[in-house]
Amino acid sequence: MCQSLTDAAMQRLGPMPNLRTIVLRRCHLLTDAALLHLAHVAPRLAHIDISHCFRITDGGFTILSHMPELTELAARECPRLTQRGLNALARTAARLQVLDLRLCTEVTDDAVADMLLAMDAAVRATPARSSPPATTAPPTRRNSTTDVDLMPPLLALLPGELAGGAAAEPGTPLRSVTRPSSATDLSVAVLADGSGDSASNPASAPPSEAAPWSSAQSPAESPVHATGPPAPPPRLALTTLRLGFSSAVSDRSLRILATVAPNLIELDVGNCRVISNDGLMHLQGLPNLQRLNLSKCRQITDEGVAHIAQCRKLRELNLSYCDFITDASLRHLSSLPDLKVLDISRCTRLTYAGLVPLSRLSGLNILRGSA
């Protein structure tokens, strides 16, 4: 992507109601203002990549959390993302499937744990439907979330002069809205009244913010539920979580993750050096886990690998630079029926003899083991 792309250039974009994917990776000059305009003109975005956008702050993540169809967010190496921005992402719990937070240096273990718990609480607060599906009255335009004309007034998220004192017309470019004299970092405006973490305190959200997304209906529009067994409680949609190089992420985050995200397929905690065998024990609570990166998690021993071997659907495993694993770990891994990719590079205590049990893995097609 062009590294010279600026907010002013982004503000030239007109309405794009069918845009689903945008990659803004390494656009170092973009700020929260660009995301605000993007959310206004392309409300149906599902896949957004803002990796290495160093000027995006918690305010930008608050804006993204209000996008009704967001399912994949790549935010690798966004150094201004903190716990407040992660709390805002709790709004996306029912729809966000892929979240990449690698190299976000201000993301702490507490921040990750609190985000996961807030997401779980948000999903559980969603009313469960009975089966068979409820019958409803014909939908009204007010409840539509895919029509550009009904895009929630995101400008209302930002108080004061940035909102221009009145709601902007849908599709209005941000350049036509009066902004403060210093708008390079809009997180100050977004978070000045606590709107940045309204996800963690829904009661504090102003009515004007909640209304566009409200699913409340008048008595005449209330669904009539047919008799049927209750549906299982809703769970996080999250299938991929990448936290690599977040040095503060610990066993606590893994314990909470295993509790609230049973649909997880891929987990990257490479170079999270405080993760230990105790944390890996909790991965048994992820029955669908297929891809796991534990590279440079140097506290892991054969005991931890024995826990990993209980993840029976595992297909790809990276244990490179795990200095304390021995040939016993390879014996544990030889029981994984679906393992196809294994990286044991720079595991200095392994021997050639230890590779023999891996011959049982008929599906193994990639083995990396440089000394």
Q: Residue 231: pLDDT band by 50, 70, 90 thresholds?
A: low
Q: Is residue 159 part of a domain?
A: no
Q: Note the pLDDT of residue 131.
A: 47
Is residue 221 over pLDDT 70? no
pLDDT of residue 309 exceeding 50? yes
Task: pLDDT band for 213, please (50, 70, 90 cuts).
Answer: very low
In a domain, 134, yes or no: no
Domain count of the fold of the chain = 2
**Is 318 inside any structural domain?**
yes
Is 223 part of a structural domain of the chain? no
Regarding predicted confidence, which is higher, 220 or 119?
Answer: 119
Among candidate residues 178, 204, 238, the one where a domain is terminated:
238
Q: Do 55 and 195 reside in the same domain of the chain?
A: yes
- Cα-based distances in Å from 250 to 130, 177, 276: 38, 44, 8
CB distance 320 to 346 below 8 Å:
yes
At what angle are helices 251-260 and 109-124 packed, to 10 degrees? 10
Q: Please state, in angstroms and as integers, the Cα–Cα distance from residue 360 to each residue in 99, 182, 283, 325, 334, following that order.
A: 35, 64, 24, 20, 6
The CATH number of residue 363's host domain is: 3.80.10.10
The reported pTM is: 0.76
**Is 89 part of a structural domain of the chain?**
yes
> Would you say 19 and 44 are in contact if contact means Cβ atoms under 8 Å apart?
yes
Beta bridge partners of 343: 318, 368
Band the pLDDT of 172: cuts 50, 70, 90: very low
pLDDT at 43 over 90: yes
Count Cα atoms within 13 angstroms, Cβ side, for 185: 10
Whether the predicted pLDDT of 60 surpasses 60: yes
Position 249 in a domain: no
The arithmetic mean of pLDDT across residues 322-334, rounded, is 97
Same domain, 267 and 333: yes
Mean pLDDT of the chain: 81
Calculate mean pLDDT across residues 82-107: 95
Whichever domain contains 13, its CATH number is 3.80.10
- Region 55-75: mean pLDDT is 97
Mean pLDDT for 183-204 is: 42
Query: Do both 69 and 202 map to the same domain?
Result: yes
Domain for residue 65, yes or no? yes
69 shares its domain with 201: yes
* Percent of the chain residues past pLDDT 70, beyond the cut: 71
Q: Does residue 81 sit in the same domain as residue 203?
A: yes
65 and 6 in one domain? yes
- Cα distances from 52 to residues 31, 168, 254, in angstroms, run 12, 30, 25
d(CA 73, CA 90): 13
> Does residue 114 belong to any structural domain of this protein?
yes
Contacts of 57 (CB under 8 A, 6+ apart): 31, 32, 80, 81, 85, 185, 186, 187
Mean pLDDT lowest for which of 14-23, 153-162, 220-229, 247-256? 153-162
Of 132 and 110, which is predicted with more confidence? 110
Q: What is the pLDDT of residue 234?
A: 76
Is residue 266 scored above 50 in pLDDT? yes
Q: Report the alpha-carbon distance of residue 61 to residue 309 in Å, rounded.
A: 36
Residues 89, 208 share a domain: yes
Range of the structural domain that residue 342 is part of: 261-371
- 179 and 291, same domain (yes or no): no
Q: Are residues 206 and 265 in the same domain?
A: no
207 & 312 share domain: no
- Which H, E and C letters describe the chain, residue by residue? CCCCCCHHHHCCCCCCCCCCEEECCCCCCCCHHHHHHHHHHCCCCCEEECCCCCCCCHHHHHHHHCCCCCCEEECCCCCCCCHHHHHHHHHHCCCCCEEECCCCCCCCHHHHHHHHHHHHHHHHCCCCCECCCCECCCCCHHHCCCCHHHCCCHHHHCCHHHHCCCCCCCCCCHHHCCCCCCCCCCHHHHHCCCHHHCCCCHHHCCHHHHHHHCCCCCHHHCCECCCCCECCCCCCCCCEEECCCCCCCCHHHHHHHHHHCCCCCEEECCCCCCCCHHHHHHHHHCCCCCEEECCCCCCCCHHHHHHHCCCCCCCEEECCCCCCCCHHHHHHHCCCCCCCEEECCCCCCCCCHHHHHHHHCCCCCEEECCC
Q: Are residues 208 and 266 in the same domain?
A: no
The pLDDT of residue 308 is above 60? yes
- Confidence band of 184 (pLDDT split at 50, 70, 90): very low
- Local confidence band at 246 (pLDDT 50, 70, 90 cut-offs): confident
Residues 101 and 172 in one domain: yes
Residue 228: pLDDT band (50, 70, 90) is low
